[in-house]
Structure 1
Amino acid sequence: MPEGDTVLQTAARLHTALAGRTLTRFDLRVPRFATADLTGRTVLDVISRGKHLLTRVEGGLTLHSHLRMDGAWRVYAPDERWRGGPAHQIRAILANTEHTAVGYRLPVLELLRTRDEAKAVGHLGPDLLGPDWDPETALRNLLADPGRPLGEALLDQRNLAGIGNIYKAELCFLARATPWLAVGDLPAPTAARLVTTAKQLLEANRDRPMRTTTTTRAPRGPGPGPGPGPGPKERLWVYGRADRPCLRCGTPIRTADQDARPAYWCPHCQSGPTS
């Protein structure tokens, strides 16, 4: 599932291509909205809210989409070949005289009144990359269910919006806690620092083409041996590094499923249960 920084970058690309321009084509290939036609209307703006995309169109309408696991928006020039996938995977086409935005494999696609956007995104917690960011509310939400595993709490967009599986793994490592540690067992300073670090990581990566977390200081503490340290090509501390040495202590990184998604952790640097 895309992280909040990826969705923000997608919104920026769509905004640049569509905002302020009149639609010459509007095609939604989902049964409920297949007859909707906004051709001739102007796109006002495109914004992200957590992992949701909101494309606002003249006349008080908003196209709401969500990428989930493998959805994507691609922007093409008028004479450019569409390479985002086969035609049967296309769910939306928004075009003007200069660009065509094509939505592939979008599991969530709906047209709603702009005044009703809260029905789609009102349940979300503070957006780590949004103007509504509130660390105190995010921390309070995160700790509301003390017995919940930390990894699950971080991924719950109702607590704070924008964290995906990559940031979950990296934040747990930086907090020195396994993803299965009860969130209420985090020391209070660690929990507060975790929220601050989440904001710092997403902000640092909001404009980067390649996400990196290894510029954030790793947790301190003695290890069984010196780790290799993050080299120039090592962009993540633990995510996707199963069986490779921890960059801090050298212990092999482990992986297991958590809520049907892979979790990664260092068994020496991170404390807590492992299932």
Structure 2
Amino acid sequence: MPEGDAVRRTGDRLDRALAGATLVRSDFRVPQLATTDLAGATVAPTATHGKHLLTRLTTAGGDRLTLHTHLKMEGSWRVIHAGDRWPQPGHLARVVLTTDAVEAIGFQLGLVELLPTADEHTVIGHLGPDLLGPWSADDEQTALARLTAAPDRVLGEALLDQSVVAGLGTIWLSETCFVQGIHPQRPVSALADPLRLLRRARALLRSGLEHGQPITTGDRHNPVWVYRRQRQPCLRCRTTIEAGQVGPPGRERTTYWCPRCQPRA
């Protein structure tokens, strides 16, 4: 599943193509919106919150609406010149937004809904602070309180919980825990400085956004410390990287660690 930095890059791509433009056609290929017509709507910038995309529009009649999409595991947004061949088969498209110049096609989107912009809180209000958002002092304290609210909870599970902080997935979970020197299967209470971990997670995500990919080691040839490097030597100490599961039953996710740099106990 794309993580917060990848989703923000998707939002930026939609902005470059659509922000300020008027739609000449829309095509919703999901049952609940099959008859919706947004032709004549003006597109405002696309916001993101964690892994959620919020494309805001003003209809020709003056209504302010938000197209809420989520990529889930397989989804993507592609932007092409109007009339060009689509990069994926048409039956995979869920949304098509067309201007005079471009088409933005949402393929295999895991979630598509249209709602009044004033009601955005109903779909993202449960989420924790966005690690790629403005991140005020209040956001930091909220994230800290939510992370430490259940001290016995497995750290990796807590960090993947989007109601704690929004934007982290398995890449940034694994890399943040390595940089912090904490095993992701230890409890939250094992953190000596949870605020420092949150700040590092945010710094890593912002770095990923700036570089266009995760680069936590500073080396593009070996860009990550542990993610998907199981059975390979740790780049720091040469110990073999291990992998395991975190998360509630039925929703487990794979994470990675160095058993020497991140001791289990």
TM-score range, shorter chain: over 0.9
Aligned to 1:265: 257
Aligned to 2:225: 237
Aligned with 2:107 (options 104, 109, 119) = 104
Counterpart check, 1:203 vs 2:206:
yes
Q: Encode CA deviations 1:64-94: one digit per residue, 9 max, x unaligned.
A: 00011111000001242211x2221110000
Question: Do 2:96 and 2:105's aligned partners in 1 also have CA atoms closer than 8 Å?
Answer: yes
**Cα distance, 1:232 vs. partner?**
4.2
Q: Which SS does the other structure have where 2:153 is aligned?
A: coil
Alignment of 1:90-129 (within 5 A): 90-129=93-132
Aligned with 2:134 (options 131, 137, 140) = 131
**Cα distance, 1:257 vs. partner?**
2.7
Alignment of 1:213-228 (within 5 A): 213-215=216-218
**Cα distance, 1:195 vs. partner?**
0.7
Tell me which amino acid in the other structure corresponds to 1:69: M
Question: Do 2:47 and 2:54's aligned partners in 1 also have CA atoms closer than 8 Å?
Answer: yes
Q: Judge which range, 253-262 or 96-105, deviates more.
A: 253-262
Q: Which SS does the other structure have where 1:88 is aligned?
A: helix
Q: Which SS does the other structure have where 1:207 is aligned?
A: helix
Distance in structure 2 (CA, Å) of the matches to 1:172 and 1:6: 20
Tell me which amino acid in the other structure corresponds to 1:254: E
Q: Judge which range, 199-208 or 98-107, deviates more.
A: 199-208
Tell me which amino acid in the other structure corresponds to 1:236: V
Q: Encode CA deviations 1:154-197: one digit per residue, 9 max, x unaligned.
A: 1111111111110001111112222110011211x2x1210110
TM normalised by structure 1 equals 0.89
Alignment of 1:1-275 (within 5 A): 1-58=1-58, 59-83=63-87, 85-133=88-136, 134-187=139-192, 189=193, 191-215=194-218, 231-259=219-247, 260-272=252-264
Distance in structure 2 (CA, Å) of the matches to 1:71 and 1:5: 15
Distance in structure 1 (CA, Å) of the matches to 2:264 and 2:32: 47
Tell me which amino acid in the other structure corresponds to 2:159: L
Sequence identity of aligned pairs in percent?
A: 47
Distance in structure 1 (CA, Å) of the matches to 2:75 and 2:176: 25
TM normalised by structure 2 equals 0.93
Tell me which amino acid in the other structure corresponds to 1:62: T
Q: Encode CA deviations 1:212-247: one digit per residue, 9 max, x unaligned.
A: 1113xxxxxxxxxxxxxxx54010000011111001
Q: Which SS does the other structure have where 1:210 is aligned?
A: coil
Q: Encode CA deviations 1:108-146: one digit per residue, 9 max, x unaligned.
A: 100000000001111111111112442222111111111
Q: Which SS does the other structure have where 1:8 is aligned?
A: helix
Question: Do 1:15 and 1:47's aligned partners in 2 also have CA atoms closer than 8 Å?
Answer: no
Q: Aligned Cα RMSD in Å? A: 1.3
Distance in structure 1 (CA, Å) of the matches to 2:257 and 2:190: 17
Distance in structure 2 (CA, Å) of the matches to 1:43 and 1:132: 26
Q: Which SS does the other structure have where 2:149 is aligned?
A: coil
**Cα distance, 1:29 vs. partner?**
0.7
